[in-house]
Structure 1
Amino acid sequence: MTADQQPFPPIRLLSSQPIPVTGGNGVDLRSERVREFLQASNLAPNTQKAYRIELERFIGWSNKAWINVTPRDLAQFKHYLKHQCQTRQGQPLSPAAINQALTALKSFYKWFQQAGYMSLSDVLPTAAVQFEKLGEPLPRHLSSEQMEVIFQAVTGDEDIDRRDRALLAVLTHGLRAEDVSALNVGNYDGIRLRFVRKKDKSDAIVPLRQAAREHIQAYLERRQGQREVLTNESPLFLSYDFRTPGQRLGYQGIYYFTKVRLGAVTGIPNLTPHRFRHTYASELVELGIDSLLARSLTGHRSEKVFERYIKGKRLAAAEDAFFRAIGEQ
């Protein structure tokens, strides 16, 4: 054998043992991968929170490392969600809740593969799992009569009253609650709001009705009259809660304003901030604005999702047209 004819190195057999779930220091590597995934993602804060809960739920159910999870495991996990998991009220999980858990896992495994933790040629364990079928969503837009009741409920001239009227004016232009909370004075130029949507980091320009502009102006003038120095970085909406006075109004504060305070006064059930978003989308279509232009105002990228928002309004309009046509209205 010459110097150039070296023997082949011995074949090394790879261990067939599962990859350990914890590292040498006892840290659960599965949770560490979840942390990395959420840090690398471009998800809105509420979506990040929901995904973390669902991924931790899976970790609590399975004792396998992420790389060792199989399609069969995912099928069994889905069965577990459907037949063994319950809400805090002791009810079975809804199809939408099950789909949220599956969506979190699908999104995680897509990142897991792209991040190099598994081969790009491997089939993802989530590839075969199917979403639950959802029924037709109930209309969530508010009627013109309900909107009139809501506007009439926000009266008074205290600081919080002026804040509430300005806040309601912005919510009725279709902004998500997390975007409203993040608004600064500098995002308002006297005519429109310019901001970056938290959900997808897209630029948004939302023109405001004159009445909305007047409510915002009245609120800001009240704050300036109390010697508050407003800068571009000042929060547009302040909290008047005794625990956080003068701080930025948070998502929970906006939710409390609509569902608890407005809901109690108006008697409208489940009056969440998002219902104003549905109502705004329906109003745009009713005004005859082209769907593409309307979606640029609401921030919907998907025509399918936008159609779901306005379906209830169209069904109601069709019913009204029918009764008018037969002379019963």
Structure 2
Amino acid sequence: MADLRLERVKEFLSASNLASNTQKSYRLELERFIAWSDKAWIDVTPRDIASFKKYLKDECRTRQGKLLSPAAINQAITALKSFFKWFQLAGYLDLTAVLPTAAVQFEKLGEPLPRHLSLEQMEVIYQAVTGDEDINLRDCALLAVLTHGLRAEDVSSLNVGNYDGIRLKFLRKKDKSDAIVPLRQVAREQIEAYLERRRSQQEELTGDRPLFLSYDFRSGGQRLGYQGIYYFTKVRLGTATGISDLTPHRFRHTYASELVELGIDSLLARSLTGHKSEKVFERYIKGKRLAAAEDAFFKAIDETPKQS
């Protein structure tokens, strides 16, 4: 017989408005809890949740054999909190009942390390994407869009019709909110150059055509997927530039920091990045502020230390 606990998880995910990657993450975390506990969802107690958190901290390991990070533990707690909130609203728990996840606390996260890319690093990245072959023109346009703070999953979903010559208009996959992201002139020029190349090859660029195509021999001409975007940044750009841990999300951090440096009001900046929470947005730019404070200190004492 099917495990009814798994059936409730499927029901929860079907009823949710979560992005596909978040759904996958929540499913994995809830399945981990099911493997750890033999209790039905309705019988789970606050003590069970506390014991599970202790298990995550003290016993659970990554594939590399390391203990879970505080962020990974918080991800598991978030999945459980979200599930039990739905479980109650769906009528499986009395609305007056105290949720078993009510008392569990998130792990404290350390101060964020700077995740933004420096001007020097960005210059190296731009120099690594050159050439006039189809894939080079695609990569220039792709980098131009990534540097405007879009999540990789949103970039993959873009169609030609989402670009109006000045801005990108699309629906964010994470929360299904409307997004309008204006583009710099150089970004517009790079997108136009890429689209013009495709037009010259007799491709009919209707509004529902993917904005970015794959040039992989197995999927050439199809939509560039989420994994393809990560490969472009982490492997191709990372290898060419020597910048470690280069991911699409680092461009998002860089864009958020840039908006603040430009003096754009935080509320307006968040409308461009899609951050609903001021607290989360502050975490994005705090690393930049710490780095700026360090630079100001060394400038004030007229000292330029060598990079380690």
Smaller-chain TM-score bracket:
over 0.9
In the other structure, the counterpart of 1:317 is: 292
Maintained 8 Å contact 2:238/2:246: yes
Question: Match for residue 161 of structure 1?
Answer: 136
Give, in whole Å, the separation in 1 of the partners of 2:299 and 2:36. Answer: 57
- The Cα of 1:234 is off from its aligned counterpart by 0.3
User: Equivalent residue for 2:191?
Assistant: 216
Partners of 1:205 and 1:273 in 2: how far apart?
A: 19
Deviations 1:205-236 (A, max 9, x none): 00000000000000001111111111000000
Q: CA deviation at 1:304?
A: 1.1
Distance in structure 2 (CA, Å) of the matches to 1:140 and 1:276 = 9
Q: What SS does the corresponding residue of 1:27 show, helix, strand or coil?
A: coil
Q: Shift of residue 327 of structure 1?
A: 4.1
CA distance in 2 between counterparts of 1:315 and 1:91 reads: 28
Query: Partners in 1 of 2:80 and 2:96 — Cα distance?
Result: 19
Alignment match, 2:70:
95
**Which of 268, 283, 296 is 2:258 aligned to?**
283
> Does the Cα contact within 8 Å between 2:114 and 2:291 map onto a contact in 1?
no
Is 1:304 matched with 2:279? yes
1:120 pairs with one of 71, 74, 95? 95
What RMSD over aligned residues (CA atoms) do the two structures have, in Å? Answer: 1.0
Secondary structure of 1:205's match? Answer: strand
Higher relative contact order (CA 8 A, sep 6+): 2
Instruction: Name the structure 2 match of 1:14.
Output: none
Distance of 1:59 and 1:260 partners within structure 2: 36
Deviation at 1:328, TM superposition (A): 4.2
* Aligned residue in 2 for 1:148: 123
Q: Distance in 2 between matches of 1:137 and 1:98?
A: 17
Alignment of 1:69 onto 2:37: no
Q: Distance in 1 between matches of 2:61 and 2:282?
A: 31
Structure 1 position 133 matched with structure 2 position 108 = yes
Runs of 4+ more than 4 Å apart? none
Give the structure-2-normalised TM-score: 0.97
1:27 Cα offset (Å): 1.4
Aligned-residue identity in percent: 82
- 1:63 & 1:39 partners in 2: Cα distance? 24
Aligned match of 2:57? 82
- Give the partner amino acid of 1:228: E
- Give 2:205's aligned residue: 230
Deviation (angstroms), 1:133? 1.4
1:195 match: secondary structure = strand
Letter of the structure 2 residue corresponding to residue 105 of structure 1: L
Per the alignment, residue 174 of structure 1 pairs with 149
| Partner deviation per Cα, 1:127-164 (whole Å, 9 max, x = no partner) | 11111111112110000000000000001111110000
- Would you say the 8 A contact 2:112–2:286 is kept in 1? no
Residue 243 of structure 2 aligns with which residue? 268
Quote the residue 2:35 is aligned against.
60
- 1:252 corresponds to which residue? 227
The residue that corresponds to 1:13 in the other structure is none
Which SS does the other structure have where 2:234 is aligned? Answer: helix
* Deviation of the 1:315 alpha carbon: 2.0
Contact 2:157 2:210 in 1 (8 A): yes
Whether the aligned pair in 1 keeps the contact of 2:213 and 2:224 (CA below 8 Å) is yes
Pair 1:29-2:19 in alignment = no
Structure 2 gap ranges (5+): none
Would the alpha carbon gap of residues 260 and 123 (structure 1) be closer, same or farther in structure 2, given more than 3 Å must change? Answer: same
Specify the SS of the correspondent of 2:53. helix
